[in-house]
Amino acid sequence: MVAISNGKKGTNLHILAEFTSEVASLRRQYSNTGLTNHQLPDDPMELFNKWFKEAISSGVPEPNAMTLATVDETGLPNARTVLMKGIGESTIRFFTNYESRKAAEIRYNSTVACVFWWVELERQVRLRGKAIKVSEKESEEYFKSRPRESQMGAWASKQSSMVKNREELEKRFSEIREQYENRDLLKPPFWGGYEITITQMEFWQGRPGRLHDRILYEKTEQTWNRKRLMP
């Protein structure tokens, strides 16, 4: 809002006011079924798997897209979307470039947070945990399963580095295409997966009157503790 107070102040403020009231009036009545205590499993991964399957069957676009938050070396937060590509016993996985901004931040502080928002189901899942690299073998296996275009993209992109212009990026891609014509692409050494071992998980279900359900699971040595939070 501060940035608006220059040059064409009057007009911009007018637009801003209209926009603000429009955004403020965006309100959805959450009416889905709730999360009653007897529905809650001891293991949050059971509920996560159930919700994830329901997100897929309900036609949520990109149900495996999640916001991944990290912190940088100065303690500032950073967030971006990645695709979850695997669910384990108390883990989830995603794949990326090991020389990217996010990878540098995970090296600095391996604790990350993730958020899924499945709007059609009025559900949010938040989690926190530690990220470590998955084995080279497993990353290779996943890389092999990717479409060829994505494999070439992984080689062509020095993710998070500056590029002079679009042409330069496309040139890099064409060079990779020529180099690997009629050849399989191996996984680049700078590309692979991270596995997040989950220590906290919160399930949020929209309910009428803003009385949403929030169930927080926290990992102890052996089991999971569970509590209900105010919305």
Ligand X SMILES: Cc1cc2nc3c(=O)[nH]c(=O)nc-3n(C[C@H](O)[C@H](O)[C@H](O)COP(=O)(O)O)c2cc1C
Looking at the Cβ atoms of 102 and 207, the one nearer to ligand X is: 102
Looking at the Cβ atoms of 100 and 139, the one nearer to ligand X is: 100
β-partners of residue 18 are: none
Give the shortest CB-179-to-ligand X separation in angstroms.
22
Looking at the Cβ atoms of 102 and 126, the one nearer to ligand X is: 102
Summarize the chain as % helix, strand, coil (round to 5).
35, 30, 35
Give the shortest CB-228-to-ligand X separation in angstroms.
31
Active site residue 210: yes
**DSSP of 105-153:** HHHH--EEEEEEEEGGGTEEEEEEEEEEEPPHHHHHHHHHHS-HHHHHH
Angle between helices 166-179 and 148-156 (to 10 degrees): 120
Looking at the Cβ atoms of 101 and 177, the one nearer to ligand X is: 101
Pairwise CA distance, residues 141 & 27, whole Å: 44
Give the shortest CB-40-to-ligand X separation in angstroms.
30
Pairwise CA distance, residues 106 & 94, whole Å: 13
Catalytic residue among 128, 210, 214, 226: 210
Helix, coil or strand: residue 157: coil
Give the shortest CB-177-to-ligand X separation in angstroms.
21
Residue 131: Cβ within 10 Å count:
26
Give the shortest CB-124-to-ligand X separation in angstroms.
17
Which stretches of the chain bind ligand X, using CB under 6 A? Answer: 62, 65, 78, 80-83, 94-97, 100-102, 159-160
Looking at the Cβ atoms of 14 and 144, the one nearer to ligand X is: 144
For residue 10, which phi and psi values (nearest 5 degrees)? -55, -55
User: Known catalytic residues?
Assistant: 210
